[in-house]
Amino acid sequence: MRKYLTAKEVKKLYNLHISTLHRWSREGIIHPIKTAGGHRRYDESELLAVMGKTVEIKGNRCAIYARVSTKKQADNGNLIRQLERLQGIAKRRKYVVVAEYQEVASGLNENRKELSKLLKIIAGGQVDIVLIEYRDRIARFGYKYLKEFCRQFNVVIEEVDDRPNKEPQEELVEDMIAIVTSFSARLYGKRGGRVAKKLVQVIESEVAAGENDGNGSNP
């Protein structure tokens, strides 16, 4: 008997994002059915056959990783647009996308859930290429170490655009505040919270002053 899965179940079991399922459906790679209520269901045996076929294409297996720092950026569509750009590039380069990861987290966060999943499939030999938009999407610091980790498993990280990323000021400020908070806690212990709060206020006031200067509101 055939087993049909929801998109959520497919994501949980095989880490295939719904955008990948829709793309495969448009390209005729898979053939989902629709319930009476209009919801798509995916044939598990068909998905397994497709994934089994792609695994054989060594050298072309690609994992996409997209990240933004704030929920505001995600709500504005930055994350999904980043993901769609990477999907388009993977298709033009004729890569077989075997996994997609997207998350809202600071580039300084060492405990990113989706990044951890990516590292596991790299170590498991399930991917050949990691496709990212800019290097700081995957790591704000320590990119070279991450690249060397990938090299140990014959995996390459490909940047779509290696130009310096002129990021939104909001994102850089978020990362700066994260650094201040972390170091204040280490240096000042219990007083770290108060120290960090004062430093954050200084940072925010300087940013506001810079914005006013940029707008020409100051003489």
Q: Which residues are tagged catalytic?
A: 69
Closest CA to 103 of 136, 76, 80: 80
Detail the DSSP E strand segments found in 26-155: 33-34, 40-43, 61-68, 96-104, 129-132
At a CB cut-off of 8 Å and minimum separation 6, what does 27 contact?
none
At a CB cut-off of 8 Å and minimum separation 6, what does 20 contact?
87, 97, 100
Q: What share of the chain is helix, strand, coil (3-state, %, to 5)?
A: 55, 15, 30
Taking CA atoms, 105 is separated from 35, 44, 45, 185, 188, in Å, by 35, 32, 34, 20, 26
- Residue 118 — φ and ψ, nearest 5°? -60, -45
At a CB cut-off of 8 Å and minimum separation 6, what does 57 contact?
96
Vertex 165, ends 162 and 161: CA angle to 5°? Answer: 25
